[in-house]
């Protein structure tokens, strides 16, 4: 039996926040506080001064495999995930080939299991080839391990096709994840359409590119009763619309990427392509709206929206670069910035990173209750460090937070009671 001793155990699902011991046997949580009778301790981890939490669950992280292994692989990104305390990550269907048949879903799951690090849960494509024209074989994909269905940021121009997708998903109680963007309004834009954008002479993406699509999806969700999740919202009005829908009783949830909580369009001022993301970094008002949604439960979860790139993808004029930030290893320390700024309490942050994502996905993860899988993150809240090209484990080094002082470092990550990362 393994014991994690003297750590501050924070488990929001079970309303636990105290210094105590955690006992693990056969990959499960066996006891909290008092040792089970008649059990001998074979291994111990001293967590004095550390925080012990459930392993983080990341609702959107691209692993790039199959198809884009010049950017990253399942092996490289699951290694980065466990270094960041993330034990489960959900990966979009935008691989090559697309996750629109069971063989691709099974390939991703099998490769992740063979690597033996973080659990990787694929989203299935909502339409075949993400083309927005024909339904994918959702039932077969679900049977092969897909936890949700999404068309990612690929358009479904026909409201009728989208309606049919949602009707089918509702019939089987499948989760549909929207990454809302109206492609005609977004056009060839690369940053938020506002004064900074005008001054820089870049093509803008108005907030209506997101809110128009959110409105369309919400109306169809209301009509079908499907279980729906809005991923990586960036606009204050989007949060208000989803919050109002929840008040009406719709089964909708939302998440936000950590960088949208910390950065705004002003950060793009120097044409630094590391700040090129889709959805774009929005205004200070939008950022305030996202933070407000976070504390009022309009937004349930925080994700990394991890998108690793090879160096060439970011070495071009701003508008010509590929959007996305490599974010697995900085998800927790950047979240702790919100705690330091007193925008969230530590248990509230941990809930947004663990039990809330698990609840959205309806998976038995994200808690330290007796009998739960021993997927655990232990971090030192006081350790100060910086992410650099040398210590970044992800194959993607494209982070604007490189060299930024961070506080809070993962010391141990356990999956099914086995240590898979140790600093």
- Cite the active site residues: 305
Bridge partners, 7 (sequence order): 20
- For residue 28 the two structure tokens come to 């499960």
CA distances from 42 to 9, 28, 53, 411 (A): 21, 15, 22, 20
Residue 147 near residue 93 (C-beta atoms within 8 A): no
H/E segment holding residue 52: strand 51-54
Q: Which of 404, 119, 359, 92 is nearest to 232 (CA)?
A: 92
Residue 376 near residue 350 (C-beta atoms within 8 A): no
Which residues have C-beta within 8 Å of that of residue 65, sequence separation ≥ 6? Answer: 72, 73, 74, 95, 108, 111
Query: What values do phi and psi take at 214, rounded to 5?
Result: -60, -45
Residue with tokens 């990341």: 58
Q: Which of 153, 162, 182 is nearest to 224 (CA)?
A: 162
Q: How many other CB atoms are found less than 10 A from the CB of residue 99?
A: 28
- Helical spans, DSSP H, in 34-94: 74-83
The span from the CA of 86 to the CA of 411, in Å, is 12
The span from the CA of 377 to the CA of 320, in Å, is 38
């Amino acid at each position: 039996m393994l014991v994690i001793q003297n750590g501050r155990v924070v488990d929001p699902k079970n309303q636990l926040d105290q210094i105590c011991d955690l006992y693990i046997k056969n990959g499960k949580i066996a006891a909290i506080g008092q040792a089970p009778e008649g059990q001998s301790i074979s291994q111990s981890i001293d967590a004095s001064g550390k925080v012990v939490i459930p392993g983080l669950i990341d609702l959107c992280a691209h692993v790039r495999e199959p198809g884009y292994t010049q950017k990253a692989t399942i092996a490289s990104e699951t290694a980065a995930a466990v270094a960041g305390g993330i034990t489960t990550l959900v990966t979009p269907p935008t691989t090559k080939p697309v996750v629109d048949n069971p063989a691709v879903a099974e390939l991703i799951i099998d490769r992740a299991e063979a690597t033996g690090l973080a659990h990787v849960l694929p989203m299935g494509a909502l339409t075949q080839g993400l083309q927005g024209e024909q339904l994918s074989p959702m039932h077969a994909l679900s049977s092969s391990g897909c936890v949700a269905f999404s068309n990612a940021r690929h358009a479904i121009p026909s409201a009728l096709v989208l309606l049919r997708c949602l009707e089918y998903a509702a019939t089987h109680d499948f989760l549909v994840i929207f990454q809302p963007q109206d492609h005609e309004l977004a056009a060839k834009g690369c940053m938020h359409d506002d004064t900074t954008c005008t001054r820089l002479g870049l093509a803008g993406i108005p907030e209506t590119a997101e809110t128009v699509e959110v409105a369309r999806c919400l109306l169809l969700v209301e009509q079908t009763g499907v279980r729906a999740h809005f991923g990586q919202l960036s606009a204050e009005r989007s949060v208000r619309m989803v919050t109002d829908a929840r008040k009406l009783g719709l089964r909708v949830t939302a998440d936000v990427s950590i960088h949208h909580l910390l950065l705004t369009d002003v950060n793009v001022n120097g044409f630094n392509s590391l700040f090129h993301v889709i959805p774009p970094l929005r205004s200070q008002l939008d950022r305030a709206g996202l933070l407000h949604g976070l504390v009022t439960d309009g937004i349930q979860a925080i994700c990394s929206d991890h998108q690793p790139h090879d160096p060439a993808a970011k070495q071009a004029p701003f508008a010509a670069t590929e959007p996305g930030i490599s974010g697995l290893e900085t998800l927790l320390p950047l979240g702790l910035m919100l705690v330091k700024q007193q925008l969230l309490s530590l248990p509230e942050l941990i809930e947004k990173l663990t039990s809330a994502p698990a609840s959205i996905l309806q998976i038995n993860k994200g808690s330290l209750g007796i009998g739960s899988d021993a997927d655990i993150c232990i971090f030192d809240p006081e350790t100060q460090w910086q992410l650099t090209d040398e210590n970044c484990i992800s194959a993607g080094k494209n982070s604007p937070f490189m060299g930024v002082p961070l506080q809070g470092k993962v010391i141990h990550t356990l999956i099914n009671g086995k240590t898979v990362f140790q600093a």
